[in-house]
């Protein structure tokens, strides 16, 4: 109520109409001691009645703002308990609170007796003593909406209270929490698609919960608002205006329906919901005297998105120079990309048509803020069908890191768990101490494994396991980190006895293969300098090759190194056990046996893209940004498309007619796709949807796919060469290697 000081009945009608429209049953009026708030409560009840809607209201007393006077609470409740807009549970007026231990169980029992109320307060400090508070009909956990540390939200806190309260437990959901006053300045982790992940958790507990409270409609001072920013913001609030959150409320309608009915509703429109903070977490604000909030390092610099799709298609997320395209299926899909300086944009395509194409004009990701702001800008874009521009929700509702995505679906599909070292390579056993060689953590898991820790640390440059149960993530390894004997990291992982998870003050360290442009001098060898043991004459230059466009983007996925003395010769020595060696960004070296991983084509590009001087020899070139000077141990040459022949236009299906490899690339041409498939060792290639490439050595005829059709059905121009056709929606131009038959 503190933010409704200047509300009129029209404001109340507007808010209550918006709230009721998405399926919420009641609104908690969080009230303090100020007399003017009594007037606003009356306006709220009058507005609800005049709307003639089903929305109801109830008191939630803020005991941190009120005198603990039982008679006052009784009087307030009794004034409205028979009002037509009063929310009731089994005929009893709902009474809630924030705090309230001052009344004691006897005081709450008296309030219940004098009002006939249903009691559902939030009172902290009752852990282990709920059996002494028999007056309470329910108790809700206000803080369970957010993770209480630098980790993703789980239901462990909910289960803790359920074990004590049983069927008397209610809980909360929120999208964000950040405040930046001189007297309270903190951020609670909002990453990991918090709003959606929390709804999914609530669905899993729905048969146990009494109620779910969405926190909040209008607490702009703490950034946990679902409603439009209006009214009287607390003095000094600089982070809420022009940072809409209403799209989160729109998104929640789907889950509100699911929670109330027990089943997910059909998705009837295509929508992309997306959000991001306005500056890097580590940025230093030039004009902010308050300083960074606590928890500032609990967030990653990512653009988060959730796609509601009626059927399959592709979605492109962009922010500045950071961009990635994803394939999505019908259902709900979670996506993210790294943030980069500039504007956000979202796009969705289906069957050759762009059905969403939106870039909000009121958001810019800036590297050098004047004031700190760890709030989220939240928007959405909705397809209107065909090529018409999408509707959007914003006012009412050169990055060198990898994009990543996680998908969920209402049909309960799951993604495969990673292999223990997927995306990482082992560095060694290191000594640790209280100042930590890897900064973020510990994240403790009683069933810890290497794979779990590496999954948690996706997006970080380093990961480490320690003391059997601990995981650490960080952007770098402390510069004075001291390597220890492998025998000192002898403690088994709590969740997998045949793996090692450090020891007391000993940590097994892993480095992300995808780490680019790092400033650390630590390499995967135990020495920071390496002398070549093989001469360059045993290798031949392959040319300048671009990195890929998906996943980690790395074309070479074997070991990688970063050294201050890097040259092609040193890199070739490091990669002596592999077919290819690639030097990049002056000091980096990558090894592998294929040049076509993560969407890379393996074809050469102009040498002007590989002009970074080598860190160890300024007279030589060592790649560029996301491009490598590649050397081959044999006479391998870039693949050629000239000898492949067209087999015509074919129908494709969701099971795919070619299943060996698939990628989606901006600027795709027929030659690019054939080169990708040829280099990867396949004998068939197919282009689809203007930008998609599929490889295989067998044409599979399932679910209607793999069947020849008229050439006119493949009519979509290739993005990289409009004179060529690259299939269409579920149509592919098929090409065969010489000697291949169907």
Q: How many residues does the chain have?
A: 742
Please tell me whether residues 370 and 446 are part of one structural domain. Answer: no
The answer as to whether 662 is a domain residue is yes
Residue 421: band (very low, low, confident or very high) from pLDDT cuts 50, 70, 90? low
Q: Quick one: 350 and 386 in the same domain?
A: yes
- Give me the pLDDT at residue 170, please: 97
CA 164 to CA 130: how far, in whole Å?
7
> What does the alpha-carbon distance between residue 725 and residue 113 come to, in Å, rounded to a whole number?
77
> Are 627 and 651 within one domain?
no
Task: Report pLDDT for 393.
Answer: 43
pLDDT at 528: 27
pLDDT value at 523 more than 50: no
The top-scoring range by mean pLDDT among 111-115, 404-408, 472-476 is: 111-115
Confirm whether 685 is domain-assigned.
yes
Structure confidence by residue, pLDDT tens digits, 313-328? 999 999 999 999 999 9
Average pLDDT over residues 287-316: 94
> Does 390 share its domain with 428?
no
State residue 532's pLDDT score. 30
One domain, residues 281 and 371: yes
Given a contact cutoff of 8 angstroms between Cβ atoms, the answer to whether 162 and 169 are in contact is: yes
- Per-residue pLDDT tens for 68-108? 999 999 999 999 999 999 999 999 999 999 999 999 999 99
Residues 1 and 109 in one domain: yes
Tell me whether residue 480 is exposed, middle or buried, using C-beta atoms within 10 angstroms of its C-beta: 0 to 12, 13 to 18, 19 or more: exposed
Peptide bond into 442 cis (omega under 30): yes
Domain limits for position 560: 536-632
Predicted local distance difference test score (pLDDT) of residue 268: 93
For residue 515, is pLDDT > 60? no
Return the residue matching tokens 């941190």.
64
pTM exceeds 0.75: no
Q: Angle of helix 70-80 relative to helix 36-51, nearest 10 degrees?
A: 20
Q: Which residues does residue 333 pair with via DSSP β-bridges, in sequence order?
A: 307, 407
In a domain, 130, yes or no: no
Identify the pLDDT of residue 679: 67
pLDDT for residue 643 is more than 60: yes
Domain boundary among 105, 125, 145: 125
Give the range among 317-321, 623-627, 678-682 with minimum mean pLDDT.
678-682
Q: How confident is the model at residue 742 (pLDDT cuts 50, 70, 90)?
A: confident
Examine the domain organization and report whether 628 and 652 are in the same domain. Answer: no
The sign of the torsion formed by the CA atoms of 149, 402, 400, 450 equals positive
Please state the rounded mean pLDDT for residues 494-515. 81
Residues 723-735 pLDDT 10s: 889 998 889 999 9
pLDDT at res. 434: 67
Identify whether 204 is preceded by a cis peptide bond (ω within 30 of 0): no
Number of domains into which the chain is organized: 5
For the residues 378-393, what does the mean pLDDT come to? 63
Q: What pLDDT sits at residue 665?
A: 66
Percent helix, percent strand, percent coil in the chain, to nearest 5:
20, 30, 50
Is 139 a domain residue?
no
- Of the given ranges (22-36, 47-61, 485-499, 510-524), which has the lowest mean pLDDT? 510-524
Mean local confidence (pLDDT), 14-28? 94
The rounded percent of the chain whose pLDDT value lies above 70 is: 87
The stretch 307-316 carries a mean pLDDT of: 95
Tell me, yes or no, whether 450 and 357 share the same domain.
no
Mark which of 512, 544, 577 sits at the end of a domain.
512
pLDDT at 62: 95
175 vs 223: CA distance, rounded Å: 9
Query: Residue 595 pLDDT more than 60?
Result: yes
Which pLDDT belongs to residue 398? 23
* Co-location of 277 and 398 in the same domain: yes
pLDDT at 714 (0 to 100): 93
- Specify if 157 maps to a domain: no
The mean per-residue pLDDT over the stretch 657-662 comes to 78
What is the secondary structure of 312-358 as a DSSP string?
-EEEEEEETTEEEEEEE-SEEEEEEEE--SB-EEEEEEETTEEEEEE
Query: Which of 602, 632, 662 delimits the end of a domain?
Result: 632
pLDDT digits 0-9 by tens, 525-581? 222 222 233 233 367 788 888 888 776 678 888 777 767 678 888 888 777 767 888
Distance from C-alpha of 658 to C-alpha of 393, rounded to nearest angstrom: 39
Question: Does residue 498 belong to any structural domain of this protein?
Answer: yes
pLDDT at residue number 551: 67
Concatenating the DSSP letter of every residue in 275-321 gives: EE-SS-TT---SS-SS-PPBTGGG---EEEEEEEESS-EEEEEEETT
pLDDT at 222 over 80: yes
Asked if 285 and 379 sit in the same domain, the reply is yes
Predicted local distance difference test score (pLDDT) of residue 618:
84
| 155-174 confidence digits (pLDDT tens) | 999 999 999 999 999 999 99
Q: Which of the pair, 488 or 164, is modelled with greater confidence? A: 164
What's the rounded mean pLDDT across residues 252-268?
A: 93
Pair 600, 652 in one domain: no
Tell whether 708 is covered by a domain: yes
Q: Which residues pair with 646 in a beta bridge?
A: 735
Per-residue pLDDT, 666: 63
> What average pLDDT does the structure give for the chain?
84
Same domain, 564 and 688: no
- Note whether residue 208 is domain-resident: no
Residue 430 CA, distance from chain mean position = 30
**Band of the pLDDT at 45, cuts 50, 70, 90?**
very high
Predicted confidence (pLDDT) at residue 508 exceeds the cutoff of 50: yes
């Amino acid at each position: 109520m503190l933010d409704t000081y200047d509300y009129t009945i029209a404001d109340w009608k507007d808010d209550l109409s918006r709230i009721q429209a998405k399926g919420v049953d009641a609104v908690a009026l969080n009230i303090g001691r100020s007399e003017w708030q009594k007037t606003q409560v009356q306006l709220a009840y009058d507005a609800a009645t005049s709307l003639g809607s089903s929305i109801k209201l109830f008191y939630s007393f803020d005991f941190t703002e009120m005198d603990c006077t039982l008679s006052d609470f009784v009087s307030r409740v009794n004034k409205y308990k028979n009002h037509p807009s009063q929310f009731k549970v089994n005929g009893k007026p709902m009474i809630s609170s924030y705090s309230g231990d001052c009344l004691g169980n006897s005081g709450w029992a008296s309030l219940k007796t004098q009002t006939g109320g249903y009691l559902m307060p939030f009172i902290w400090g009752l852990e282990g003593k709920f059996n002494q508070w028999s007056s309470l009909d329910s108790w809700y956990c206000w803080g369970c909406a957010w993770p209480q540390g630098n980790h993703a939200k789980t239901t462990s806190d909910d289960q803790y209270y359920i074990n004590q309260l049983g069927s008397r437990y209610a809980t909360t959901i929120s999208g964000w929490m950040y405040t930046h006053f001189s007297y309270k300045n903190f951020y609670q982790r909002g990453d990991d698609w918090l709003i959606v992940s929390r709804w999914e958790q609530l669905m899993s507990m729905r048969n146990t919960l009494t109620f779910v409270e969405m926190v909040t409609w209008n607490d702009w001072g703490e950034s946990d608002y679902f409603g439009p920013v209006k009214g009287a913001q607390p003095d000094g609030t600089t982070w809420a205006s022009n940072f809409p959150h209403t799209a989160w409320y729109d998104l929640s309608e789907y889950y509100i329906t699911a929670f109330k009915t027990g089943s997910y509703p059909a998705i009837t429109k295509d929508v992309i919901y997306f959000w991001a903070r306005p500056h890097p977490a580590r940025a230093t604000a030039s004009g902010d005297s308050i300083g960074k909030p606590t928890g500032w390092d609990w967030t990653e610099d990512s653009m988060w998105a959730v796609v509601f799709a009626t059927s399959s298609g592709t979605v492109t997320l962009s922010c500045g120079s950071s961009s990635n395209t994803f394939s999505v299926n019908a259902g709900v899909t979670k996506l993210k990309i790294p943030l980069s300086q500039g504007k956000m944009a979202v796009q969705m395509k289906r069957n050759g048509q762009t059905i969403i194409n939106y870039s909000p004009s009121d958001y810019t990701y800036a590297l050098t803020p004047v004031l700190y702001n760890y709030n989220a800008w939240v928007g959405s874009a909705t397809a209107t069908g065909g090529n018409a521009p999408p509707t959007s929700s914003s006012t009412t509702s050169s990055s060198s890191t990898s994009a990543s995505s996680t998908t969920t679906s209402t049909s309960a599909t799951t993604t495969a768990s990673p292999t223990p070292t997927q995306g990482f390579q082992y560095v060694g056993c290191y000594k640790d101490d209280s100042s930590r060689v890897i900064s973020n953590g510990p994240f403790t898991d009683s069933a810890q494994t290497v794979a779990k820790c590496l999954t948690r640390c996706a997006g970080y440059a380093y990961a480490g396991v320690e003391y059997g149960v601990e995981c650490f993530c960080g952007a770098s390894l402390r510069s004075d980190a001291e390597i220890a004997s492998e025998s000192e990291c002898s403690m088994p992982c709590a969740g997998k006895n045949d793996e090692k998870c450090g020891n007391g003050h000993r940590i097994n360290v892993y480095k992300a293969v995808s780490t680019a442009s790092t400033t650390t001098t630590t390499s995967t060898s135990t020495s920071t300098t390496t002398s070549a043991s093989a001469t360059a004459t045993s290798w031949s230059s392959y040319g300048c090759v671009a990195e890929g466009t998906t996943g980690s983007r790395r074309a070479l996925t074997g070991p990688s190194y970063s050294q201050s003395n890097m040259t092609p010769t040193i890199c070739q020595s490091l990669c002596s056990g592999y077919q290819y060696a690639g030097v990049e960004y002056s000091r980096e070296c990558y090894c592998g046996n294929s040049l076509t991983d993560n969407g890379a084509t393996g074809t050469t590009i102009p040498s002007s893209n590989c002009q970074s001087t080598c860190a160890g020899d300024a007279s030589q070139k060592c790649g560029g940004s996301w491009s490598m000077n590649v050397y081959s141990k044999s006479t391998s040459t870039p693949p050629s498309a000239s000898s492949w022949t067209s087999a015509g236009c074919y129908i494709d299906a969701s099971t795919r007619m070619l299943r060996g490899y698939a990628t989606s690339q901006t600027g795709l041409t027929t030659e690019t796709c054939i080169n990708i498939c040829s280099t990867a060792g396949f004998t068939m290639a197919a282009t689809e949807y203007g930008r998609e490439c599929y490889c295989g050595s067998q044409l599979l005829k399932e679910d209607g796919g793999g069947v020849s059709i008229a050439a006119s059905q493949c009519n979509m121009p290739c993005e990289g060469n409009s004179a060529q056709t690259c299939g269409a929606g579920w149509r592919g131009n098929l090409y065969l290697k010489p000697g291949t038959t169907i």
